[in-house]
Structure 1
Amino acid sequence: MRPAPPAIVAVVAALLGGITALVLGAATGLTSGETRTVVVPGAAVTTELRPAAVPALGNRFDPAAIYAARAPGVVTLYADLGADGQSQGSGFVVDAAGTILTNAHVVTNVAAAAGQKVVGARRLYAEFKDRDRAPARIVGWDLFSDVAVVRVDPADHALAPVPLGDSASAVVGEPVAAIGSPFNEQSSLSVGVVSATDRTIESLTSSFSVVGAIQIDAPINRGNSGGPLFDARGRVIGINAQIRSTSGSAEGVGFAIPIDVARRALVQLERFGRVSYAYVGITTQDVTPGLARRFGFAAARGALVARVEPGTPAAKAGLRGGSRSETVNGLRVALGGDLIVRIGSVRIDGAGDVSRAVLELSPGQKVPFVVLRQGTRRETIEVTLAERPA
């Protein structure tokens, strides 16, 4: 069979997290007799969260034990988006105050906004494992990471917060468990392994990519969006967000937003009501040892600046983009631009490292970029970072 065109795969990937109001209208009581067919696509700050839970599970992977201990902390979210229809997704309680993490595309109209203002759900409900519901309110959302924070009143329902882990420690092959509500089937468990780490994936909610995503083969489907991805100790290492599929259902290629990214969004949304990101204004591509040998670069690895956007911090600082290109082994390589090998104290071995390094910085910071000009001459360029544009 011929593979499906990439455009088809991308569209299907964007469907995770919502199911049509044709199903939701009668099943959830969000509508009063009417149904609408709407598909919903799917300076670093540190703080101590307030989870009442601790990772009590052992290192042995026991899905039944994970489910028994953590499912009470996972909720199904029903969002009334007004004229944009309804959506259904998942979420999980992270503290005794009723704070819930989920995906931004579950609780906003971003899928239907089409360049217009993104607004949150008019009404939002969290349904717990015992099928009791509580009204929820939106604290805020971060479209860049596709993370949203909502809250329920602890007086409305007993809470079972789940502990947050460390997504940076995830390794390929380790077992994982996803709990959520695929196709509105509440509190469903699926298991698999980490297929890859540090994936850079297209965001469903902004024009910027999400870096550090965790790829999994645990089956996740529409409605799993916003649900937790647990490691073997029952700690959340990611928020299930996307699938890549040619059929619209799970095909073993799912992606979770790393919990380290979600934690950053949570902290800033609670403190400031918004999330800020540093911005450089460059497009880069990987340099490998083979390319370095081919073009005589003085470093075997790094990030080659392909383009510098006009008027950005990179342009103002004097970073240089490519002036010509060549094709090597089927790969188009931009040449003539700076080769970034270090940002501040962080070594840069590829384009993904640039994104990750900048993610840890703050707007307004002045940061030294160590580059090889023309691939050979070492220079340090001070770049004053701006805030990422919407």
Structure 2
Amino acid sequence: MAFACSLSSTHYSASLHSAPTVCRLLSYKSAAISVSKSVGLLHKSFIPNYRALFFLRPAFSRSSLISPPSIASTSSSPKLDSLLLLCTSIALSVSFLLTDVGSASAFVVTSPRKLQPDELSTVRLFQENTPSVVYITNLAVKQDAFTLDVLEVPQGSGSGFVWDKEGHIVTNYHVIRAASDLRVTLADQTTYDAKVVGFDQDKDVAVLLVDAPKDKLRPIPIGVSNDLVVGQKVYAIGNPFGLDHTLTTGVISGLRREISSAVTGRPIQDVIQTDAAINPGNSGGPLLDSSGNLIGINTAIYSPSGASSGVGFSIPVDTVNGIVDQLVKFGKVARPILGIKFAPDQSVEQLGVSGVLVLDAPADGPAGKAGLLPTKRDAYGRLILGDIITSVNGKKVTNGSDLYRILDQCKVGDKVIVEVLRGDQKEKIPVILEPKPDES
């Protein structure tokens, strides 16, 4: 009779066991090994010790799982089968207990939150530059109508940033406009009274000074704005709606834009346009590049509906740099002027001419000294138009913005040639530019 397994006469003799019984024993052994391996796989699948033992042991006690179907069991003793099954069950139990299976908590997979490299750089930029951004409160003196007590109440707020270790804070002028007192809150929530060093209404820039310890002042890194490109990533930090420091991101969506000063209406050239959210309270805060360097001051949003429309504007840092230097040194900006008041552009268009109509030219001003004629009325009340400026230094002037743009390129003391239309005649008049008078 042929058997499926080879027997060694040294270990198994025919006198002790019949061949089918021995084969069944070896089959039980191989089945136990196979089950043990299966248990190892289950162990790797994070099955707890005792629960696996109680649930699996009855299943493995069934002879249908481990009895070899190719060997008939008619020649074996039922007691021997039961004994072998008991031994197999004990062996499996021991293998469970000796195997280092993880606890039930292994079912919970806790993978650490991982940030992408660009996210890490943004988080790092915010953490490194937040100490440089401050919160500015504009206080106004008001009298109570019933008690007549004089109180200081907040009438506005905005953002700013530390310029140097001396305590100079840079912000927008419209943030501090009409303030009786100003308070600056640093990133560590310490508050200091601030005084105005100087401001430039035309460019909407102001410089404050706080008496804070130098170790609490973190000047912001100053960058450049003449090499910016559309599509470049930018980051705006501020205190919108009076909240704590917040960060908004976007890209530069336009360059060399022009907006008007919120105070004087004078145009501000080369403004940065961005889609980074600039909400109320972000005014005066910094606009940063991906290296964390200052490239502009957030100053306005274009919002016909009164809501943030995704078009914000920032004054470029190259413009701010020169203004802040003059304000810190002299307390004012020496910007050249012609010394005239001119008519609105719409009024000139109705006359059918192109240029700037001079309404007033004080005699002590540069234009008055040079002989420019203002608009006036004769003895009969008839309106006599003054000079209409058509060009300055050969550059065409079609409206007030053109005139301001040309003057911004000049310096105090420069001699310019102003071409005017006087009646039907064109005349060229030399004018020496003078500084803008002090503003209270």
Tell me whether the two structures share a fold, i.e. TM-score over 0.5: yes
Percent of residue pairs identical: 34
Residue-by-residue CA offset, 1:228-261 (whole Å, 9 max, x unaligned): 1112322212111111214433211111122233
Number of residues of Structure 1 aligned to a counterpart in Structure 2: 286
Which secondary structure does the structure 1 equivalent of 2:313 belong to?
strand
Contact 1:177-1:230 at 8 Å conserved across structures: yes
Change (3 A) 1:358 1:158: same
Which residue number corresponds to residue 232 of structure 2? 174
Residue 337 of structure 1 and its aligned partner are, at CA, apart by: 6.0
Matched, 1:63 2:122: yes
Q: Which residue of 1 aligns with 2:206?
A: 148
Give the letter aligned to residue 126 of structure 2: Y
Query: Distance between the aligned counterparts of 1:348 and 1:197, measured in 2?
Result: 23
Supply the AA of the counterpart residue of 2:122. P
- Tell me the equivalent position of 1:277: 335
Does 2:190 align with 1:132? Answer: yes
Residue pair 1:307, 1:320 contacting (<8 A) in 2 also:
no
Name stretches of at least 5 consecutive residues in structure 2 with no aligned partner: 1-117, 143-151, 345-353, 375-387
Partner SS, residue 105 of structure 1: helix
Aligned position for 1:103: 172
Equivalent pair of 2:341/2:360 in contact (CA under 8 Å): no
Change beyond 3 A, Cα 1:260–1:60: farther
Give the SS at the match of 2:234.
strand
Conserved? CA contact 1:342–1:348, under 8 Å: no
Secondary structure of the structure 1 residue equivalent to 2:355: strand
Aligned to 1:386: 434
Residue 338 of structure 1: how far off its partner (Å)? 3.2
Helix, strand or coil for the counterpart of 2:219?
Answer: coil
Structure scoring higher RCO (CA < 8 A, sep ≥ 6) equals 1
Q: How far, CA to CA, are the matches of 1:357 and 1:81 in structure 2? A: 37
| 2:271 maps to 1:213 | yes
State the one-letter code of the partner of 1:258: P
Residue from 248, 252, 269 that aligns with 1:190: 248
Q: The residue matched to 1:144 in structure 2 has which SS?
A: coil
What is the SS of the residue equivalent to 2:216? Answer: coil
Equivalent position SS for 1:252: coil
Shift of 1:211: 2.6
CA-atom RMSD, angstroms? Answer: 3.9
> What SS class does the counterpart of residue 214 from structure 1 fall into?
strand
Cα shift at 1:371: 6.6
Structure with greater helix share of residues: 2
CA distance in 1 between counterparts of 2:418 and 2:290 reads 40
Q: Quick one: structure 1 residues 358 and 63, their matched pair in 2 at CA, closer, same or farther if it must change by over 3 Å?
A: farther
Deviation at 1:223, TM superposition (A): 0.5
Note the 1:1-390 alignment, pairs <5 A.
62-83=121-142, 85-86=153-154, 87-109=156-178, 120-128=179-187, 130-155=188-213, 158-280=216-338, 281=340, 305-311=355-361, 313=366, 317=370, 338-340=390-392, 342=394, 355-363=404-412, 365-369=413-417, 382-388=430-436
Deviation at 1:215, TM superposition (A): 1.9
Contact 1:216–1:254 (8 Å) recurs in 2: yes
Provide structure 1 residue ranges, at least 5 long, that are not aligned to the other structure.
1-58, 110-119, 286-303, 322-335
| Partner of residue 16, structure 1 | none
8 Å CA contact retained: 2:273, 2:312 = yes
1:179 and 1:187 in contact (8 A); partners too: yes
